[in-house]
Structure 1
């Protein structure tokens, strides 16, 4: 997993047909922007949106910018890439990805139109039933793959489900299954695992709770649909001072023990604890820039 992928805590979707919203997004503090040529843009506006996105990519920005192209089965993907690859996006977001073959197909289009070698691919990998099944049966690893994300809206349509969440706001079981499958596939591929959007951007408490849970489960960041969601996401995914202190003490205790087992605060420690501590410290180092992006005070969560 690249250090840049680890340090990106929030990915903010921005409509590709609005120059005003793209310019405004530069002030959002988001870890990365996803310039959307798919769902946010109507069929008659695709061409104009490509031109706007290419022009926007030609200007400096404080964060990486990715382009969400239209799905491979639309016949629009190559035109999206042809119009934007030369402008130097940090990566492409592929919706409705159903396996490594789709990543390879997108990569070939990127090569054909001169995308830089470091231009990566972030797939949204749970939007069809076929994709969810592939998460458990395929290795999604690919040289261009930098991250995997999931979403429940399109999957609900493919399942014929009337809702993806219950009255309590929690996902129904098929969608939790898809989320978990994507997490396992991303970790297996060694790329960033990105949690889905929280669609009610006015519910900050709900967003914070969902982001906290995702961070605790091992996700590396979260998709966002509104600038107001950026700060709560950063807060949830940035290790707290208490967690960092715990991790440092674990590493020290294990080093002093020397035999693979140690004691700390009356509890036994072994190799899994060391691995967890090292991951916390790696994330803390990688997202140091993210702390500066989000200077708001962070509540102290309990140490692991």
Structure 2
């Protein structure tokens, strides 16, 4: 049982204000997929205006994405809706922010790419505050410079969370997109986010026909402390959901910890021969919350191949 207790101890916290561990990114150039993405079972649907949109299509994609975001009722059933804007200090990013403000088409969250300092989210933060919008700002960390600058990024006012961008990081660092190489920046990101009390979400796994690899990398994300992972296709969602849901032994161990803590007269007790203190109890609660969340969503993969 000690192994299970150790896994419970390292379990990530419940995603507060996040929606859940399954994120699905959808190109802004494919408005016919927006409704399908919302119904895919993903807990966060992220409509992309940046990398997946060619320069000539930026205006049309922006119009389609904001029309969809503006027409979708907030606070209703279904996933959180996010928009990844263009770099906030570039022309297209400024246009994205201005259009959201002018149209009042504020999504549940905005992801700002290529963030390398806290000032990179300042423009969108000002716009959100000015509109009194209930929009959370997330920073996409995707360069060595950003990893070095993490203390300033994660402490930026109005920042709700961070995501890791493996592809851009690897390109900037001149390294391969492999687990062995990327454990260091991923661990750095999770550590900085945890210190700031905000969640971190892992980068997509880009091989669509390798569910075993996706499952392995998703389990690594759980081990590292990420609260979720981005999918690039709906058929990846069930794999991610399964990896982030506690297994039966982990859940059994967590419940044993909680039962022992409930019957203890002090803050320290034992469960199945292992010492249990407040940190293990809180980790056990997080495991149970993860299990409860995993029963609320059953992702589907009803989408034509990209």
TM-score range, shorter chain: 0.7 to 0.9
1:263 is paired with a residue whose SS is: strand
Match of 2:118 in 1: 100
Which residue, 97, 111, 124 being the options, matches 1:81?
97
CA distance in 2 between partners of 1:263 and 1:122 (Å): 40
CA distance in 1 between partners of 2:203 and 2:15 (Å): 20
Match of 1:51 in 2: 63
- Any stretches of 5+ residues in structure 1 without a counterpart? 297-304
Match of 2:295 in 1: 291
The alpha-carbon deviation at position 123 of structure 1 amounts to: 1.0
2:82 is the counterpart of 1:69: no
Which aligned segments of 4 or more residues in structure 1 are displaced greater than 4 angstroms? Answer: none
Query: Contact 1:235/1:294 (CA < 8 Å) preserved in 2?
Result: no
The alpha-carbon deviation at position 236 of structure 1 amounts to: 1.2
Which residue, 262, 271, 286 being the options, matches 2:278?
271
Query: Contact 2:23/2:45 (CA < 8 Å) preserved in 1?
Result: yes
Match of 1:223 in 2: 230
2:99 is paired with a residue whose SS is: helix
Length-normalised TM-score, structure 2 = 0.84
1:87 is paired with a residue whose SS is: coil
The alpha-carbon deviation at position 221 of structure 1 amounts to: 0.5
The alpha-carbon deviation at position 215 of structure 1 amounts to: 1.3
Match of 1:133 in 2: 148
2:16 is the counterpart of 1:3: yes
The alpha-carbon deviation at position 23 of structure 1 amounts to: 2.5
Q: Which moved more, 1:36-45 or 1:139-148?
A: 139-148
The alpha-carbon deviation at position 84 of structure 1 amounts to: 3.0
- Write the mapping of 1:168-183 to structure 2, written as runs, cut at 5 A: 170-172=179-181, 175-183=182-190
Q: Deviations over 1:138-166 (max 9, x none)?
A: 362345322111122112222233x232x
The alpha-carbon deviation at position 242 of structure 1 amounts to: 3.7
Q: Deviations over 1:240-266 (max 9, x none)?
A: 344333222212212323233222222
Match of 1:302 in 2: none
Q: Which moved more, 1:181-190 or 1:75-84?
A: 75-84
RMSD of Structure 2 on Structure 1 (CA)? 2.2
Q: Which moved more, 1:207-216 or 1:39-48?
A: 207-216
Q: Which moved more, 1:16-25 or 1:34-43?
A: 16-25
Structure 1's 236 and 123: CA in aligned 2 closer, same or farther, altered over 3 A?
same
1:11 is paired with a residue whose SS is: strand
Query: Contact 1:147/1:191 (CA < 8 Å) preserved in 2?
Result: yes
Which of structures 1 and 2 has the larger relative contact order (alpha carbons within 8 angstroms, sep 6+)? 2
- Any stretches of 5+ residues in structure 2 without a counterpart? 1-13, 301-306
2:161 is paired with a residue whose SS is: strand
The alpha-carbon deviation at position 10 of structure 1 amounts to: 1.2
2:193 is paired with a residue whose SS is: helix
